[in-house]
Chain A
Amino acid sequence: MKNKKKMICDEFDKEVFLFHEGSLSRDRMELIEYHLGICKSCLSIYKDFEDLIAAYENFPKEDIDPNKFNYMVRKATTPEIRPGKYVQKRKSFVEVFGFYRLGFGGAAVVAAMILIIISILKNPSVENKLPSELLDWNGDKITSKIEKIENQIISLRSEEWDIYIVRKNEKANWDATLKNIRSQINKLKEATKNREL
């Protein structure tokens, strides 16, 4: 019994508040109620606590001028008169897609078009880069022109032609010419890759 009493005294310090607000279980409430009946020390703590609460509760509560309070309520419930940081102003269509945005957008489009035109003028087409002798063909694609040149080379490399070149001692010169033509063809292939004229 003495141990039980000691246990309740130790726990009473905190449970007194829960006992006072009545939030303990029914058993616990009954136990503490019984304990207060037999323990003068805990009863004194409880009385002091009740006195303190009573003294504080009798203390005047602070209040604010009702007119001021009403204004505060209006300020809280009326977005227009709220302090700036609380105003969640909904943006109108003109603000979101305003003329200034359209103006900037339009200017950007015009600038982009000008840049495209300049780049076109500054970069002549592949056609203009071709050697003049290759432009003699009309109406064909560059790729077919290349094929024609390649066919010509193949025919030029025929045995008869080789013999003729050797006889004329001009093979070395012709090889250089051939190399030059191949290099031009390669450049053309690169320049006209995936493009058609």
Chain B
Amino acid sequence: MSEMILEARLVKNSKNGDGSAFGELISIYRKNLFTYLLRMCKDRMTAEDLLQETLIKAWTGLKSYNEQQKFSSWLFTIAHNVSIDAIRMQQLRERPINLREKTDIASYFTPHSEMVITEGRIALQKEVENLPEDQRRVFLLRQQGELSFKEIAEVMNQPLNTVLSHMHYAVKKLKRCLNEE
């Protein structure tokens, strides 16, 4: 409850133009947001660019944010749109962002990674990144964005049943990978 109050206060201060409150507010979601963007574009440099773009769009669009909506949903909607634009741009240039590229472990795990990495986990991570875009998006918005399925359906502008189907297939594929460990 206190977290919600803190968030509401930070949102209010950010709306009043307090940049440091905005930094504090985004810091709450920093890891989830960055992980989501990194898993979507699969390239650290690109993910940083997308994060920057997300921050700018969040800051400039903060006035239009309705407090009735969950801040994380609003923030991840921006990140979702930013990543979609980036992927489309890459597809237009016919130079996919490392799509299907063999994962370079060193590029994933920086000194900021929190745990010791096992091969099985890397395999799971690879499998997440190799999911079809919609399945990956639903899975990541649920796991990284901590959005409810109803919120994901709104963010992706798709029916709830479709979203659940994406999740169903994503989980099926990932379970297979988990069982192979």
Interface set of A (CB-CB < 8 Å, partner B): 13-14, 17-18, 21, 23, 48-49, 51-53, 55-65, 68-70, 72-78, 82-83, 86
Contact = CB atoms under 8 A, between A and B. Distances in A.
14 contacts: A14-B161, A23-B148, A48-B178, A51-B178, A59-B115, A61-B35, A62-B113, A63-B30, A64-B48, A73-B55, A74-B23, A75-B56, A76-B22, A77-B19
Nearest 3 A/B pairs, CB to CB: A77-B19, A63-B112, A76-B55
B143 A53 contact: yes
B37 to A, nearest CB: 9
A73 B28 CA distance: 13
Max chain B C-beta neighbours (<10 A), residue from A51, A53, A64, A75: A64
Contacts of B174: 52, 56
Task: Give the interface residue-count category, chain B.
Answer: 35 or more
Interface in B98-116: 108-110, 112-115
B145 to A, nearest CB: 12
B165 interface: yes
Contacts of A75: 52, 55-56
Nearest to B122: A59
Interface in B131-145: 142-144
A79 to B, nearest CB: 9
B117 to A, nearest CB: 7
B55 A72 contact: yes
B2 interface: no
* Chain B interface SS verdict (over half): helix
Contact of A61 (B52, B114, B178): B114
Given A13-B168, A60-B109, A62-B110, 12 more contacts: A14-B167, A21-B149, A48-B175, A59-B121, A60-B113, A61-B35, A63-B113, A69-B30, A72-B48, A76-B58, A76-B59, A82-B56
B26 A73 contact: yes
A155 B109 CA distance: 117
B125 A59 contact: yes
Given A21-B149, A72-B52, A14 B109 contact: no
A83 B55 CA distance: 12
A89 to B, nearest CB: 14
Max chain A C-beta neighbours (<10 A), residue from B56, B60, B142, B167: B56
A63 B34 contact: yes
Contacts of B161: 14
Nearest to A70: B23
A55 B124 contact: yes
A52 B171 contact: yes
B115 A60 contact: yes
